[in-house]
Amino acid sequence: MSKKEQQSTSVPTQFDYDAIVIGTGPGGEGAAMSLTKQGLNVAVVERHSDVGGGCTHWGTIPSKALRHSVERLIEFNNSPLFSSRRETLHLKFRDILAHAQGVVGKQIRMRHGFYERNGVRIIHGEAQFVDGHAIDVKRSDGTTDRITAKQFVLATGSRPYRPADIDFEHPRVYDSDSILNMKHDPRSIIIYGAGVIGCEYASIFRGLNVKVDLINSRDALLSFLDAEISDALSYHLRNNGAIIRHCEEYESVTGDETGVVVKLKSGKRMRADCFLFANGRTGNTDTLNLDTVGVAANSRGQVKVNEHYCTEVNNIYAVGDVIGYPSLASAAYDQGRIAADAMVLGSCETKLIADIPTGIYTIPEISSVGKTEQELTELKVPYEVGRAQFKHLARAQISEQPVGTLKILFHRDTKEILGIHCFGERAAEIVHIGQAIMEQNGSGNNIEYFVHTTFNYPTMAEAYRVAALNGLNRLF
């Protein structure tokens, strides 16, 4: 008899809850809110003292709040309105952390209210499966409660990957979580890993006038982006003083009382006040005792799910970072809602949209949706490009944010929009205008929409009209 069959023959007739969601990040919140609104008795288990998950406490919210503060600092120091000042304003990393923590507090209070108003019980503690319908929750005081449910959702998120040969207990060695506890004011930093997190923190520290060495194991920054946008990021990081080292891997990381020395396999050696390791993440599944219920996690701590986010066990679902791609807070929330519908109805026709927008909060920021030029070329799609330079827009000139571009990729024959790529101030907001048109069916998805509609003036949105005209003028 299979494990699933064994479970189905020994299922108790009554449970403490209809569903238990493990984790209160975006995926867990999306699942819990949808389940309770459909009439289920729902509880969430959160290992930390406050709800919100890694997104609220260590990832998206604090890092973007940090970035916003640094960007305003740069804007202030570069503005001609304040050119009479004798000295530039300098803020320490711990100074801007205080603002970030204020934002985190607001998010916690708001999200706690969601659970309270919707009658979802919050249970604090570490969850571990006993069988397919029961978990033990170990509280901070050492006591353990056993609770049961008909169904479960794993929304435990992820944490920074920590190689065993790096001493993360050293006070000058950080990952993307622990760096939020930095107390000193570094003059230099080595960032290992030039993915999204590494590039964002490189921008933040350069904005604070900290010397940055960004070590990339690949041959280009963020190679999943359109090559032109990746090149623009690389140029602006270097132009702002960051040193980028491609195709490098570390051999050793050694900390002492004054800083950290990194030796690369190429033989190079470098020293800085501190070191940030930002190269990969691991799913938080190692403490769940998943083997007991027949759910397997891979070497990255991720579990496999079907199109409805159901795992190998038919009453256990998983959403968010714990299932891997796309590992976005926005997508995790939608995954939670889709999983909830499947849990209640047995199936769900709703799926994530095909073209999920990506926002990267470097300085300047980046956002994209749809295909890149490289992908369209490989697919042999006859496309054309329309561009708008931000420096030509009145709104960008007024706000003194001239750096940036909007690029629209569209089919030469049908004029269907195939991709939107934006680099510059408010890129993550601007991209949604193009996304809305891309999502229209049939003739609704046409670049000529931007020519025939009327935009407020002056706005950054009118970049779409400029880019559309630029692209259509290339057709013959």
Check whether 28 is labelled as a binding-site residue.
no
Check whether 226 is labelled as a binding-site residue.
no
**What is the C-alpha R_g of the chain?**
24
Check whether 252 is labelled as a binding-site residue.
no
Check whether 199 is labelled as a binding-site residue.
yes
Task: Quote the crossing angle between the two packed helices 93-117 and 60-78, to the nearest 10°.
Answer: 140
Check whether 5 is labelled as a binding-site residue.
no
Check whether 348 is labelled as a binding-site residue.
no
d(CA 291, CA 187) in angstroms, rounded, equals: 47
Check whether 247 is labelled as a binding-site residue.
no
Check whether 47 is labelled as a binding-site residue.
yes
Check whether 59 is labelled as a binding-site residue.
no
197 phi and psi angles, rounded to 5 deg: -65, -45
Check whether 268 is labelled as a binding-site residue.
no
Dig out the tokens for 345 from the structure.
């109805």
Check whether 54 is labelled as a binding-site residue.
yes
d(CA 104, CA 83) in angstroms, rounded, equals: 34
Check whether 193 is labelled as a binding-site residue.
yes
Check whether 156 is labelled as a binding-site residue.
yes
Check whether 194 is labelled as a binding-site residue.
yes
Check whether 421 is labelled as a binding-site residue.
no
Check whether 8 is labelled as a binding-site residue.
no
d(CA 61, CA 431) in angstroms, rounded, equals: 20
Residue with tokens 């979580």: 177
Contact by Cβ (8 Å): 369, 358: yes
Task: Determine which helix (DSSP H) or strand (DSSP E) holds 53, and give its type and residue range.
Answer: helix 53-57
Check whether 29 is labelled as a binding-site residue.
no
Nearest in space to 216 (alpha carbons), one of 236, 237, 199: 199
Check whether 55 is labelled as a binding-site residue.
yes
Indicate the SS3 state at residue 94.
Answer: helix
In terms of C-beta density within 10 A (0-12 exposed, 13-18 middle, 19 or more buried), how is residue 39 classed? exposed
Contact by Cβ (8 Å): 199, 230: no
d(CA 228, CA 189) in angstroms, rounded, equals: 27
Largest CA distance in the chain: 81
Nearest in space to 132 (alpha carbons), one of 297, 34, 286, 12: 12
Check whether 21 is labelled as a binding-site residue.
no
d(CA 59, CA 394) in angstroms, rounded, equals: 34
Check whether 195 is labelled as a binding-site residue.
yes
Check whether 64 is labelled as a binding-site residue.
yes
Question: Could you please report the per-residue DSSP string of 247-300?
Answer: S--EEEEEE-SS-EEEEETTS-EEEESEEEE-S-EEES-TTS-GGGGT--B-TT
104 phi and psi angles, rounded to 5 deg: -60, -45
Check whether 256 is labelled as a binding-site residue.
no
In terms of C-beta density within 10 A (0-12 exposed, 13-18 middle, 19 or more buried), how is residue 138 classed? middle
Check whether 419 is labelled as a binding-site residue.
no
Q: Is the preceding peptide bond at 364 cis, omega within 30 degrees of 0?
A: yes
Check whether 434 is labelled as a binding-site residue.
no
Nearest in space to 179 (alpha carbons), one of 260, 253, 97, 255: 97
Q: Binding site membership for FAD: which residues?
A: 46-55, 64, 156-158, 321
Q: Binding site membership for NAD(+): which residues?
A: 193-200, 280
Q: Binding site membership: which residues?
A: 46-55, 64, 156-158, 193-200, 280, 321
